[in-house]
Structures are given as structure tokens and as C-alpha cells.
Amino acid sequence: MSESTKGVSPHQVGEAWEEFVQEQVYPEPNTKAKEDYRNYENPARETVRAFYEENHRKQTYEFVQAKRAEFLQLNRSQMSVFEACDYLNTLVDDSDPDIDLDQLQHLLQTSEAIRADGHEDWFVLVGLLHDLGKVLCLYGEPQWCVVGDTFPVGCRFSERIVYSEYFNQNPDSRDPRYNTKLGVYREGCGLRNILMSWGHDEYLYHVMKDYLPEPALYMIRYHSFYAWHREHEYDWLCDDHDRAMLPWVKKFNPYDLYSKSPNPPNWEQLRPYYTDLINKYLPAAIAF
């Protein structure tokens, strides 16, 4: 544990990701001025820095490879979407400072906002599903490797990643195999060939990859990849397919960030609609 996290509870250490993405990105009309967002110089809590210090120090190429080997066999459990939601209903994301709502309410608020705007039904489903990868917490994963902005590993860390200075503590930043612009990759190889930092986005992509349309999968896999879809970094690793999918990722993010409200949707009233929607795209039991 770093000096900055000594005496800080595990819940507090996780208070980082949505500290930025819920309050400081894509301002909702008539709320905050644009300059009030992504305020890295004066974060609301020092635990924001503590979270990213631990995340950036430990998310190495070898760490990600190990986590993929550990979890991507998808042999932990078989659950329906409703069972996964029931678990998330017990979880208040430690990185969310906005509203003390459980994760199911966040998912419903996201999906209902998408539905209200008349988008495709699979897009609505992404709103309901996009954070189900946080079931990793059920398996004992600490929040620093479940939530947070995501980024490629195996190549130089961009200075446009939030709190990039903490990558100085990451051994990959001193490893000649990984600290060049391309690292272990080749230019234009496509994001599908890149190892992303480990977290709920990458995990859920692998859980859902056989079931959903390609734009939906990009939304799930890269919605936390702010260095790409907001800061315009890592284009040198992208191919034309990635660039064609980028507008979908950008379209999704405002719903994820600014659909929250202190007045939660009524799950029991909405359940019949989402039962039909889930059954259209997903099997009764999904491998997690």
C-alpha cells in the first residue's frame, strides 16, 4: 500500500473513476460549465489520486495476461442477467461519488435514458448490461482492477491518461519491450489485437461477445477508454474498423455519465420489458 492510501478503507480507495467520469466529462446541458469538468488539479478527494496511483502502478502487461488467464475461461459461474443484476443490487460502486444508489439503479437509469431517446433495442440493452462486469468484485477483485479509465498495456502509456505521472511507478515504463510508442504491437494492428488494462469493460466484452451486435460490443469494451474516444490518443494502433465504431462509443458515453437521478426507476414495473429484451439477444444462463 502506498503512503497515500495508508489508513484509507478499501471503499475509499475505489473512489476514483466516476469521480471524474460522472462529474467531469460530457457536461449535461444547464448543469456545469465545461471548464468545471475533468478537474485533475483539484479533485474532490485525495482518494481519487490514491486510486489511480495504485491502478497505474500495478496494471502491467504481465498482470493483464495473468488476469485474462484467470478469468476469461468464464468458468466461475452461470448466471442469468437478472441474477447478475441481483448481485449488483447489493453493490454501491465505491468509485461513484454522485448518488448513493446501487448499481442496478445506475444500469436502469442508463438504459431508460437511451430508450427514451428512441435508440435501437440492442443499444438500450447495452445500457442495462454495460457494468455487469463488476461481478468481478464478487470474485474478490479489488476495485482498482475492476473500475477506472482503461488504456493499452504493452506499449508506452499516453500522457493524456488521467494522472499519467503515476505510470513512473509501473515497471513497464522502464522496460524497453513496452515503453515505446508501439511496444509489442504494430501500427494499425487494430484494437482487437491490443491488451487493455484489466477491468470490468474487457471482462464483460468476453462474456457478451457471442451475443450482441458489433457496435454494442465496442460500447461495452471501450466505454472507459477515455484516452482514445475523448483525448484522441492511440489512433496509431487503430484500424479502419475501430474508427468506424468510434462514433458508437462516443454516442453511448453521455448516457452512462449523465443519466443519473436521485429518483430511481421502478424495476418491478420495467422488468417485463427488459425480460423480453434480454430473451431476444441472450441465453437464459450466461457464462461468467
Query: What pLDDT is stored for residue 162 in this prediction?
Result: 92
Residue 2 lies inside a defined structural domain of this protein: no
Kindly list the averaged pLDDT for each block of 10 residues, start to end, along the chain of length 288.
40 44 43 43 65 95 98 96 83 45 79 95 97 90 92 98 96 98 98 97 98 98 96 97 98 81 80 96 97
Q: How many domains does the chain have?
A: 1
Q: Would you state the cell numbers that stand for residue 51, as one nine-digit string?
A: 486510486
Query: What pLDDT is stored for residue 251 in this prediction?
Result: 97
Residue 1 lies inside a defined structural domain of this protein: no
Q: Give the number of other CB atoms < 10 A from CB of residue 109.
A: 22
Query: What pLDDT is stored for residue 38 in this prediction?
Result: 43
Query: What pLDDT is stored for residue 260 in this prediction?
Result: 61
Residue 14 lies inside a defined structural domain of this protein: no
Q: Would you state the cell numbers that stand for residue 91, as one nine-digit string?
A: 453493490
User: Cβ-count burial of 25 within 10 angstroms (0-12 exposed, 13-18 middle, 19+ buried)?
Assistant: middle
Full residue range of the structural domain in which residue 191 is found: 61-93+101-158+177-287
Query: What pLDDT is stored for residue 63 in this prediction?
Result: 98
Query: What pLDDT is stored for residue 268 in this prediction?
Result: 87
Residue 56 lies inside a defined structural domain of this protein: no
Query: What pLDDT is stored for residue 5 in this prediction?
Result: 39
Q: What backbone torsions phi and psi does residue 78 show, to the nearest 5 degrees?
A: -115, 120
Residue 42 lies inside a defined structural domain of this protein: no
Which residues, 6 or more positions from 141, have their beta carbon under 8 angstroms from its beta carbon? none
Handedness of CA 78, 195, 200, 274 (dihedral sign): negative
Q: Would you state the cell numbers that stand for residue 176, as one nine-digit string?
A: 524497453
Q: What letters, b where the CB count within 10 A reaches 16 and e where it falls short, cover 2-13?
A: eebbeebeeebb
Residue 109 lies inside a defined structural domain of this protein: yes
Query: What pLDDT is stored for residue 259 in this prediction?
Result: 60
This prediction has a pTM of 0.83
Query: What pLDDT is stored for residue 265 in this prediction?
Result: 85
Give the CATH number for residue 192: 1.10.3210
Question: What CA–CA distances, in Å, run from 159 to 26, 113, 156, 166, 232?
Answer: 20, 33, 9, 10, 12
Residue 11 lies inside a defined structural domain of this protein: no
Residue 32 lies inside a defined structural domain of this protein: no
